[in-house]
């Protein structure tokens, strides 16, 4: 495995000419005395045109490439649009309705959107590269900050991939705790979505109600993990700590509190003619287009495709709990809304089953090479002290190999691809994130719709820009 | 009982500062995880309206305070500076969270290692992400500073 990886690296590395003596001097001046960048530096680091070209200059290839895909939408090439007077409008990256720092360039014909070009990268954090400098035990600290609305899912995905490479089994209690936390996290993520979806469509009070219920969940997360977000709780080998005393009462409180909130939301939104008018038939996408763009999760299920990784590729023993996969029909904003609302109910159903069947036992594996010893043992045993020291300084070594692990995140298929060369740090970490795929479907969903609908569409795919750019 | 005298005396500065700290409107500059906690701070449970700050303005022209909530990438830094330049004087900046303050755990090619390299910062908030209480403490610290004239940006 080691040899294979090394040769691959050498083969793919592009030849980079060493700078000449003059160029070296120019670089030195640039850094040392702050002179202007020489033209060749600008040319060699240019990223090409960032702006959307006017229609009379944009070729078919430019237009097709704007969505970041080669799937060409015929609607973008209508002749009458080419002749009409159009305006190019820049939206974002600092815009309240783009859910972070998404930037869109829109070509407008009056109030109608003809072309859309998403521009991403404003939150690029280099997390995949940072992941190569952290040990497998430190890895969840990094990935939990990617999709910051679904921190437990990111941690779980990374931990499952690591455990698959290690080849270790977990005690049932650890798996049950993982299911409990990830399903609660799905609810908290969807609550943020329903809050922002309502707010973007003008129901500002929805924001306050969504956050109100979310505080219930965050209080439980804080009690269990010590943090409201970015928990670093699920780690390779189990979870960081056992559930706190009295966790059952907290979960019962959540199971009672959230459905009350959900019925409020139905009163506010589902029975609201303005909300229905702004969501039904808006932002339609077909299941074929979803397949072409790699869209998963609620947007795919809203088109009627029964695809949920919890059912098709179960993980962490989630197959032992009963739940339904809610489906839509039309693939519009309203169907995505109903699917997510029902998913919260189903997640709570899983949580109530976990509450009844929570097994006793260890909350992490007893493998001494992976799990640090209990604090008390460090005072008693030299071996325990050495294990503790090694795990937290050097980290545990993971056998060479590669593994792709996918789980059903709140936004769709969340996948982590890990390559290990037998060291304590991953050789490569790649993340397949659902928001990234969803963003490139915006040209399809927003094409030929009104500009006000674009806000509903963006909110309905629930993008997290940390997940897109990472 | 005699009527109280019909005037008060004060310096212009203290009146101006009093009005400024009581209605320091924020510019929405949510970037990453911290933005979610900023939303929580503004929502009903923590209720920033108590401090005259429930209004987050989408336009920097109407904002006095920029809360940089999250990690600032190299690509975002010019945008951030432009938004800051568009805000009218006097203006203040809170750097929320470890990433905005120092780059946090991401010491790599992609992130600006502290937003104070781009804009002047008045208050730093530690935490990853800081909870609503931390942010509120920072806001109250800022208010004290504005009131006493310690933080002046004119």
Span A247-257, pLDDT tens digits: 999 999 999 99
Tell me the average pLDDT across A153-176: 92
- DSSP state for residue A413 in the 8-state scheme: E
Span A446-467, pLDDT tens digits: 888 888 888 889 889 888 888 8
Q: State the pLDDT at residue B14.
A: 83
A77 pLDDT above the threshold of 70: no
In a domain, B18, yes or no: no
Q: State the pLDDT at residue A66.
A: 64
Band (A84; pLDDT cuts 50, 70, 90): low
Total structural domains within chain B: 1
CB contact under 8 A, A465 and B105: no
> To the nearest whole percent, how much of chain B has pLDDT over 90?
16
Do residues B86 and B57 touch, judged by C-beta distance below 8 A? no
In a domain, B91, yes or no: yes
Distance CA(A297)–CA(A434), nearest Å, equals 8
In a domain, B115, yes or no: yes
Tell me the average pLDDT across A12-32: 66
Cα dist from B140 to A433, A469, B18, B94, B125, whole Å:
38, 33, 13, 11, 12
Q: State the pLDDT at residue A12.
A: 46
Span B98-117, pLDDT tens digits: 999 998 888 888 888 989 88
Residue B65 structural domain: 25-146
Q: State the pLDDT at residue A74.
A: 47
Task: Find all residues with CB under 8 Å of A160, minimum gap 6, and list them.
Answer: A315, A316, A405, A407, A416
In a domain, B154, yes or no: no
Most confident of A15-24, A103-112, A164-173, B30-39: A164-173
Tell me the average pLDDT across A395-415: 91
CB contact under 8 A, B43 and A229: no
Q: Taking CB atoms and an 8 Å cutoff, what residues of chain A touch B67?
A: none
CB contact under 8 A, B131 and A126: no
CB contact under 8 A, A229 and B129: yes
A1 pLDDT above the threshold of 60: no
Task: Find all residues with CB under 8 Å of B102, minimum gap 6, and list them.
Answer: B113, B114
Q: Which of B37, B45, B75 sits opposite A124 (nearest CB)?
A: B75
Q: Which of B45, B76, B109 sits opposite A93 (nearest CB)?
A: B76
pLDDT top residue among B66 and A11: B66
Q: What residue has token string 């990853």?
A: B128
Distance CA(A74)–CA(A54), nearest Å, equals 18
CATH number at residue B47: 3.40.50.12280
Residue B50 forms contact with A (CB below 8 Å)? no
Q: Taking CB atoms and an 8 Å cutoff, what residues of chain B touch A455?
A: none
Q: Which of A97, A98, A123 to substitute to test the interface with B, most B CBs within 10 Å?
A: A123
C-alpha dihedral over A9, A10, A12, A18, to 10 degrees?
120
Nearest-CA distance B25 → chain A (Å): 15
A76 pLDDT above the threshold of 80: no
> To the nearest whole percent, how much of chain A has pLDDT over 90?
36
Q: Taking CB atoms and an 8 Å cutoff, what residues of chain A touch B33?
A: 145, 148, 229-230, 466
Residue B28 forms contact with A (CB below 8 Å)? yes
Band (A13; pLDDT cuts 50, 70, 90): very low
Band (A271; pLDDT cuts 50, 70, 90): confident
Q: State the pLDDT at residue A7.
A: 44
Residue in A closest to B84 by C-alpha? A94
Band (A419; pLDDT cuts 50, 70, 90): very high
Residue B15 forms contact with A (CB below 8 Å)? no
In a domain, B113, yes or no: yes
Band (B1; pLDDT cuts 50, 70, 90): low
Any idea which of A366-375, B3-12, B21-30, B53-62 has the lowest mean pLDDT?
B3-12
> To the nearest whole percent, how much of chain B has pLDDT over 70?
97
- CATH 1.10.645.10 at A149-425, yes or no: yes
Q: Taking CB atoms and an 8 Å cutoff, what residues of chain B touch A95?
A: 58
A283 pLDDT above the threshold of 80: yes
Tell me the average pLDDT across A121-130: 89
Nearest-CA distance A330 → chain B (Å): 31
Nearest-CA distance B147 → chain A (Å): 30
Nearest-CA distance B84 → chain A (Å): 12
ipTM of the shown complex: 0.86
Nearest-CA distance A459 → chain B (Å): 15
Tell me the average pLDDT across A410-416: 92
Residue A407 phi/psi, 5-degree rounding, is -135, 165
Tell me the two tokens of residue A190.
């969807």
Q: Which of B37, B79, B106 sits opposite A126 (nearest CB)?
A: B106
Q: Hey, is B44 helix, strand or coil?
A: coil
CB contact under 8 A, B75 and A127: no
Any idea which of A145-159, A177-191, A371-385 has the lowest mean pLDDT?
A371-385
In a domain, B1, yes or no: no
Q: Which of B29, B46, B73 to substitute to test the interface with A, most A CBs within 10 Å?
A: B73
Distance CA(A139)–CA(B132), nearest Å, equals 27
């Amino acid at each position: 495995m080691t040899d294979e990886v090394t040769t691959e690296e050498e083969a793919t590395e592009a030849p980079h000419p060493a700078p000449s003596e003059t160029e070296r001097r120019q670089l030195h001046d640039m850094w040392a005395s702050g002179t202007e960048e020489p033209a060749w530096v600008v040319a060699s680091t240019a990223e090409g045109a960032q702006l959307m070209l006017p229609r009379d200059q944009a070729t078919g290839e430019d237009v097709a490439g704007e969505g970041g895909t080669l799937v060409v939408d015929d609607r973008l090439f209508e002749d009458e649009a080419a002749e009409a007077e159009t305006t190019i409008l820049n939206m974002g990256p600092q815009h309240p309705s783009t859910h972070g720092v998404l930037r869109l360039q829109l070509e407008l014909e009056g109030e109608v959107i003809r072309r859309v070009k998403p521009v991403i990268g404003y939150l690029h954090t280099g997390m995949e590269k940072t992941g190569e400098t952290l040990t497998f035990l430190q890895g969840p600290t990094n990935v939990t900050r990617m999709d910051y609305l679904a921190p437990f899912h990111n941690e779980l995905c990374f931990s499952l991939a690591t455990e698959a490479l290690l080849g270790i089994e977990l005690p049932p209690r650890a798996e049950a705790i993982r299911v409990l936390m990830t399903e609660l996290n799905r609810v908290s993520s969807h609550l943020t979505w329903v809050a922002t979806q309502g707010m973007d469509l003008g129901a500002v009070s929805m924001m306050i109600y969504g956050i109100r219920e979310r505080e219930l969940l965050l209080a439980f997360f804080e009690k269990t993990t010590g943090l409201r977000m970015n928990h670093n709780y699920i780690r390779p080998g189990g979870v960081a700590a056992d559930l706190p005393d009295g966790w059952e009462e907290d979960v019962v409180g959540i199971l009672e509190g959230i459905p009350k909130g959900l019925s409020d939301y139905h009163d506010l939104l589902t029975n609201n003619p303005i909300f229905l008018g702004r969501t039904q038939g808006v932002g339609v996408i077909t299941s074929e287009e979803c397949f072409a763009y790699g869209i998963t999760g609620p947007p795919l299920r809203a088109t009627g495709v029964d695809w949920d990784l919890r059912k098709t590729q179960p993980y962490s023993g989630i197959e032992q709990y009963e739940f339904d996969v809610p489906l839509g029909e039309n693939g519009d904003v309203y169907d995505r809304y109903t699917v997510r609302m029902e998913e919260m109910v189903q997640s709570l159903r899983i949580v109530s089953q976990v509450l009844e069947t929570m097994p006793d036992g260890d909350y992490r594996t007893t493998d001494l090479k992976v799990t640090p010893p209990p604090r008390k043992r460090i005072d008693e045993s030299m071996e325990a002290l050495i294990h503790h020291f090694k795990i937290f300084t050097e980290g545990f070594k993971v056998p060479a190999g590669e593994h792709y692990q996918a789980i059903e995140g709140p936004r769709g298929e969340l996948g982590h691809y890990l390559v290990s060369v037998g060291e304590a740090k991953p050789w490569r970490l790649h993340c397949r994130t659902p928001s990234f795929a969803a963003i490139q479907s915006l040209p399809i969903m927003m094409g030929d719709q009104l500009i006000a609908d674009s806000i509903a569409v963006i909110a309905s795919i629930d993008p997290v820009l940390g997940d897109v750019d990472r | 009982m005699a009527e109280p005298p019909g005037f008060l005396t004060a310096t212009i500065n203290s009146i101006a500062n009093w009005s400024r700290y009581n209605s320091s409107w924020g510019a929405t500059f949510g970037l990453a995880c911290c933005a979610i906690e900023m939303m929580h701070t503004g929502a009903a449970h923590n209720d920033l309206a108590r401090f005259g700050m429930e209004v987050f303005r989408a336009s920097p022209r109407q904002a006095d305070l920029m809360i940089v909530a999250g990690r600032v990438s190299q690509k975002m830094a010019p945008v951030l500076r432009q938004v800051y330049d568009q805000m009218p004087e006097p203006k203040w900046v809170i750097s929320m969270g470890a990433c905005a303050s120092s780059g946090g755990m991401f010491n790599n090619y992609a992130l600006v290692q502290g937003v104070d390299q781009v804009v002047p910062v008045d208050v730093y908030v530690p935490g990853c992400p800081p909870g609503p209480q931390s942010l509120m403490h920072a806001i109250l610290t800022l208010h004290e500073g504005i009131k006493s004239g310690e933080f002046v940006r004119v």
